[in-house]
Amino acid sequence: MREAPIRSQSPSGRHEPARPVVARSPGHGSAERAELGTLQRTAGNRATAALLRGGINGAAAPILEPLVTAPLGPTLQRAPIVQRSWIGDRIGWVRSGTRDGNWETEDPPGAYRVLNGLSMDDMVRVLRVLTPAERAKLAANLDEQGGRSDRSRIHLAITNASTSAADPVFRELSENLHWAIRSGNFTSPPNGAFNILATATVAQQSRLAAALNRDALDALIDRRDEASAVPGALGALTVIERRRGTLGSTSREQHLIDLVEGGDWARFFGEFNGMQEFDQLRFLRGHPGVVPPIRDNIRRADGIGDPVRILYLLERATTPASRGLYVDAMVNRYSWQPKYRVAHPEDFSNIIRFSDLADVELDISTIGDNQMGEEEADRQFREAVPGPGGFLWPEVRNRSTLPVLWQVKQMVREQQRTLLGDEVLRQGIFVVQYLMNVAIPIAHASAIKSLGVLRGASLSGRWMQGSQVIKGGAARTIISDAEAFTQARNARNSGVEAYRTMPKAQREQVATVTGGVNVQTGEVVSGYNTAGRCAEDMVVERLGGDASKVRFSEAVRPRTGEQVPVCERCQGKYTSDQFPEGVIFEGR
């Protein structure tokens, strides 16, 4: 089994061996004591005790009882050694820390502080000795009191210590999963986190979900877009999400929610500002409902916290972890209105706007045309800091550090040069805007780790008046409902075709297939049921965005080809006009 790369430490934070405690006896030579002490320091108490008892391969020393050496050699025979065991000390510290509610102090050693310094094996050994009530208390306080410890690792150890020792398979599986999450391996077979989850049985998935704490569950949910690349992983992710949903809020989080709901922004931003970034992100990710009101009231953070940094946290919390927050990588649509905020009627605007969540304005003349060395540009990329819109910005903004935005600038300049006399003007210059879409040549969900990828981005632009394209070849018009239903049916039929090629075990899990289109983006997908969720839910999830903009096909049972009526739950979530005419709505 793998172990998280954390060195064992003493509660004081120093890496040190267990301290030997040697009882002195009259007439005992100092040389002999030194010999024994050296042996204990180098080989450890337990090895020394084992040696004294009859060899390293002999039975292990008892954990809790003081060790009393058995007679062996003429020298050591006379040395009665009474000592505490290394593991016994830690059991005692964890037990007393748990009893006293002492969690992370250095002296006396807090329970989590001690556990945090142990290997997974030792942690499980210590925890197995505790009573179920003691383990339950440790688990119950971990999220609230263990902020400076590796909570996900301790949570896993508590879970595994509470399961049968005769279940090493599950323990290995759960530790592999924990390691995969910790090491950022989500999709590489066979030990990527989603690969492990997808190949686990449903019962194992539930147990694995229970072995993960909020942070680990959030990490998986945060990588949702990568899960879709692993067959079966989206179904497993449903189990993960349901588990996360059952954990609820910590008392501190609930307090913050109360402040948001009560509109007490001064206190909210004051307390939020005092939290560790890890906990700030956990709060935002675990409670997405608070993000819009915080964003709407971000100006109230002035003088209390840094609004830009809070915006950055909001973006991070709502952006899949597989995507960076570097502005050039994040933004995929820019708009420009020729007369927006111009000082003189004959001028053209230099302002471009972007981001759906926080409308960001940028003067394109602030992006320099100069270039810099690749090494320096990459340094700017790596060291980018939160800026407008909560995105990460380089200190120097130019063609090298912002290759996409520099292209945007060129496109706007080109439009400014050709605009006068253009047919666009005839459409009414105050109501038109030029939209620029960015296409980044990178595989789905891969992280952008260098500027090289961004330099390969291409842009397409078009003039829009409302939702109508006035000019520009690459535009995607908003599709009619009739067309949407046709496309949704095509997607559904593709899903049914895919079903027919699935292996038996997968086919049996698919009871319903449907298709859907987002009429605002034109994106088309198919979806199928997963545990506890309907096929319609997968379609909405895959499309993202506003669920009310989705048009569904009739759902079918791929085994029989029969239409599956829209269930009562989906009727509550989606309106009837999101389904084609003639679809069957179930009702008792």
Partner 1 sequence: MPVVRKELARLDEVDWSSLRTAHGTAEHVPAALRALREAEDTASVHDAYWKLDNYIVLQGTLYESAYFAAPYILDILLSAQWPSGRVGAYDLLIEIACGVADPGLPTTVAGPCGPMDLREACRTVVASGRSAYAADLRLADGALRRRALDLLTSIDDDPKGLDALLAGIDPGDDEEFARLLERARRELEF
- Point out which residues bind partner 1 (CB under 8 A): 202-203, 205-206, 209, 238-239, 242-243, 245-246, 503-504, 508-512, 529-535, 559-560, 564-565, 567-569, 584, 586, 588
User: CB-side exposure of 54: number of CA atoms within 13 Å?
Assistant: 5
Bridge partners (DSSP) of residue 463 are 434, 471
Backbone φ, ψ for residue 110 (5° rounding): -75, 155
Q: Which residue has the tokens 């409302």?
A: 466
Position 415, amino acid:
Q
Give the shortest CB-531-to-partner 1 separation in angstroms: 5
Q: Would you say 202 or 266 has its CB closer to partner 1?
A: 202
3-class SS string, 499-533: HHCCCHHHHHHCCCEEEEEECCCCCEEEEECECCE
Give the shortest CB-220-to-partner 1 separation in angstroms: 14
Measure Cα distances from 350 to 259, 340, 389, 413, 560 in Å. Answer: 40, 8, 18, 9, 59
Give the shortest CB-579-to-partner 1 separation in angstroms: 15
- Rounded to a whole number of angstroms, the CA Rg of the chain reads 31
Q: Would you say 484 or 556 has its CB closer to partner 1?
A: 556
Q: Would you say 565 or 580 has its CB closer to partner 1?
A: 565
CA distance 288 to 536: 22
Q: Would you say 410 or 509 has its CB closer to partner 1?
A: 509
The set of residues, in sequence order, having a beta carbon less than 8 Å from that of 5 and lying 6+ positions away, is: none
Q: Would you say 59 or 203 has its CB closer to partner 1?
A: 203
Q: Would you say 36 or 200 has its CB closer to partner 1?
A: 200
Nearest to 193 by CA among 219, 169, 155: 219
Taking phi over 0 as left and psi of -120 to 50 as alpha, with beta for the rest, 55 belongs to left
Counting Cβ atoms within 10 Å, is residue 313 exposed (0-12), middle (13-18) or buried (19+)? buried
Counting Cβ atoms within 10 Å, is residue 52 exposed (0-12), middle (13-18) or buried (19+)? buried
CA distance 333 to 4: 41
Rounded to the nearest 10 degrees, the angle between the axes of helix 151-161 and helix 202-211 is: 130
Q: Would you say 355 or 529 has its CB closer to partner 1?
A: 529
CA distance 200 to 184: 19
Q: Would you say 339 or 573 has its CB closer to partner 1?
A: 573
Give the shortest CB-522-to-partner 1 separation in angstroms: 27
Q: What sign does the CA torsion over 369, 443, 237, 488 have?
A: positive
Q: Would you say 117 or 515 has its CB closer to partner 1?
A: 515
Nearest to 159 by CA among 206, 196, 191, 195: 206
Give the shortest CB-391-to-partner 1 separation in angstroms: 36
Give the shortest CB-585-to-partner 1 separation in angstroms: 10
Nearest to 332 by CA among 478, 95, 545, 587: 545
Counting Cβ atoms within 10 Å, is residue 512 exposed (0-12), middle (13-18) or buried (19+)? buried
Q: Would you say 194 or 354 has its CB closer to partner 1?
A: 194
Strand order in 458-465's β-sheet? 360-363, 351-354, 333-336, 432-439, 458-465, 468-471
Give the shortest CB-180-to-partner 1 separation in angstroms: 20
3-class SS string, 470-490: EECCCCCCCCCHHHHHHHHHH
Give the shortest CB-208-to-partner 1 separation in angstroms: 11
Q: Would you say 264 or 508 has its CB closer to partner 1?
A: 508
Give the shortest CB-532-to-partner 1 separation in angstroms: 4
Q: Would you say 49 or 510 has its CB closer to partner 1?
A: 510
Counting Cβ atoms within 10 Å, is residue 112 exposed (0-12), middle (13-18) or buried (19+)? buried
Taking the C-alpha atoms of 211, 213, 218 and 224 in order, what is their torsion angle to the nearest 10 degrees? 0
Q: Would you say 121 or 497 has its CB closer to partner 1?
A: 497
Taking the C-alpha atoms of 485, 488, 489 and 490 in order, what is their torsion angle to the nearest 10 degrees? 130
Q: Would you say 426 or 559 has its CB closer to partner 1?
A: 559
Q: What sign does the CA torsion over 559, 563, 568, 569 have?
A: positive
Give the shortest CB-300-to-partner 1 separation in angstroms: 36
